[in-house]
Amino acid sequence: MIVGIPKEIKNNEYRVSVTPAGVHALVKNGHQVLVETNAGLESGIEDSEYIAEGALILQQAKAVFAQSDIIVKVKEPIESEYALMKEGQTLFTYLHLAPNLPLTDILVKKKITGIAYETVQLADRSLPLLIPMSEVAGRMSVQVGATMLQRDHGGVGMLLGGVTGVLPAEVMIIGAGTVGMNAAKMAVGLGAHVTVIDISKPRLTYVDDVFNGRVSTLVSNPYNMAELTKKSDLLISGVLVVGEKAPKLVTEDMVKAMKKGSVIVDVAIDQGGSVETIDHSTTHDNPCFEKHGVIHYSVANMPGAVPRTSTYALTGSTLPYLLDIVNKGAEAAMKENPALLLGLNTYQGHVTCKGVAEGLNKEYI
Ligand code: PYR
């Protein structure tokens, strides 16, 4: 197969979808790899390293899309890429379609076989191609939250860990999944007082065991959410319902009741966001906005800012699936691998992921 690797063009998106190790494996398996020039530069990878493994470098994204059977990306195509996709092409990337009707319409119209990293799901319900980036975003959420709490960034002017004789910040983490656990690790490490709130009691038991008393846990219900939100200095949301639009667990009234200068980091923004006062995603260039005196951070590609970590974490997980797709063909690979089949979001002019169709509220299935 001919595998195309375009350069990512979303705002401050510095990751690349395949590394020289990936090109090495693809070429060894008899495939041709087309890489857009400088696609890996921001992740520290020169064109010459791809060439050394047998890739061909093309000067323009247009040529990569036009000549490839499968396009492998990191982020969902943005508007300027819509016209480049070829009818019937396979697209393997993060798609996040549930809150994105325009892209879904294009993929359906062009009969793209759209396989989304974020809905590939193993029998134990884990998400092997989302987990690495959830780890990154979870850890980053505390870094950015701590920074935004600084007065010079609009926050109340508080150090997350406090100092001797001064209490630490209150950090509220919604969801005890990968994002939540990684955020908790970082926040505890910086000395904050951390509470994880989740609907699952067994999951909270796990948090309690793992952190051995260093993290408080709270069962999620609207009352507890409101009480905890009110006293938090930093709220991090890592809510996820696979494939679906994120539920709006933090209401506008809860935000209004928060302390002035407190900070919200909504990692669920990719799936439409979990905070009522966040109605749009932001960019790394302009990551925050203020509403009701609270700083809101809603960057949709957080890991894009740390490509030296993220590119390698992501491609280490995606490569085995990519090899399966190109060696067997997408259909055969999905038939043999139920986890990969769950990644299929669009196929032959249909939406094939229930959560996406429901999120779009359109008669797609
Ligand atoms: C990202 O890492 O940007 C995702 O979309 C998960």
Q: How far is the C-alpha of 6 from the C-alpha of 17, rounded, in Å?
A: 8
User: Which position among 233, 266, 270, 296 bears the catalytic label?
Assistant: 270
Per-residue model confidence (pLDDT) at position 364: 66
- Short-list 27, 25, 46, 29, CA closest to 37: 46
Rounded to the nearest angstrom, the distance between the alpha carbon of 271 and the centre of ligand 1 is 10
**Strand-pair category, 344-347 with 113-116:** antiparallel
C-beta neighbour count of 308 within 10 angstroms: 13
Q: Whose CA is nearest to atom 3 of ligand 1?
A: 301
CA of 139 to the centre of ligand 1 (A): 14
Which ligand 1 atom minimizes the distance to the CA of 301? 3
ipTM of the complex: 0.97
pLDDT at 201: 97
Cβ of residue 301 lying under 6 Å from some atom of ligand 1: yes
- Please state at what angle helix 201-211 crosses helix 178-189, rounded to 10 degrees: 30
Domain ranges of the chain: 2-120+307-360, 131-305
CA-CA distance, 326 to 29, in Å (whole number)? 9
Do 2-120+307-360 and 131-305 agree at the fold level? Answer: yes
CB–CB of 197/219 below 8 Å?
Answer: yes
Low-confidence ranges of the chain (pLDDT < 50): none
List the residue whose alpha carbon is closest to atom 1 of ligand 1: 301
Measured from the Cα of 300, ligand 1's closest atom is: 3
pLDDT given for residue 365 in this prediction: 55
What are the phi and psi torsion angles at 23 (to 5°)? -60, -45
Tell me the pLDDT tens digit for each residue of 220-256: 999 999 999 999 999 999 999 998 999 999 999 999 9
Cα(119) to ligand 1 centroid in Å equals 12
What pLDDT does residue 311 have? 98
Which residue out of 31, 96, 193, 296 is catalytically annotated? 96
Distance (Å, whole) CA 120 – CA 133: 14
pLDDT at 88: 97
Measured from the Cα of 117, ligand 1's closest atom is 6
Q: State yes or no: is 31 an active-site residue.
A: no
Class of domain 131-305: alpha beta
User: Is the distance from CB of 275 to CB of 264 less than 8 angstroms?
Assistant: yes
Q: Which residue has the tokens 């051995």?
A: 212
- Told to judge if 24 belongs to the known catalytic residues of this protein, a careful annotator would answer no
Whether residue 93 contacts residue 72, with contact meaning beta carbons closer than 8 Å, is answered with yes
Class of domain 2-120+307-360: alpha beta
- pLDDT value, residue 359: 79
